Amino acid sequence: MQKIWLSPRLYQLLPVAYILSGFLLLTKFGDDPLGLISGSMLCVAAILIWALRIHGASKATARKQEER
């Protein structure tokens, strides 16, 4: 399997792109069930990614403090 490399700046901006796309879909196609589902899924994905990154960063910080 080949690894995909993203620049750190692009990696940081992915959740922002997801949430903006989700809100755009919700505002543009919110009356359509497919637009509602797609927009909601993108927003939820962005929130989950942020939560996982925060959780991972706090675990990494805790591990570094334990090593000292």
Pairwise pLDDT comparison (9 vs 65), residue with the higher score: 9
Say what angle helices 33-67 and 8-29 make with each other, to 10 degrees. Answer: 150
pLDDT at position 68: 72
- The CA distance from 8 to 10, in Å, is 5
Tell me how crowded residue 15 is: count the other CB atoms within 10 A of its CB: 19
Task: Please write the tens of the pLDDT for every residue from 36-67.
Answer: 999 999 999 999 999 999 999 898 888 888 87
- The CA distance from 38 to 25, in Å, is 7
pTM: 0.79
The residue extents of the domains of the chain are 11-67
Predicted confidence (pLDDT) at residue 4 exceeds the cutoff of 80: no
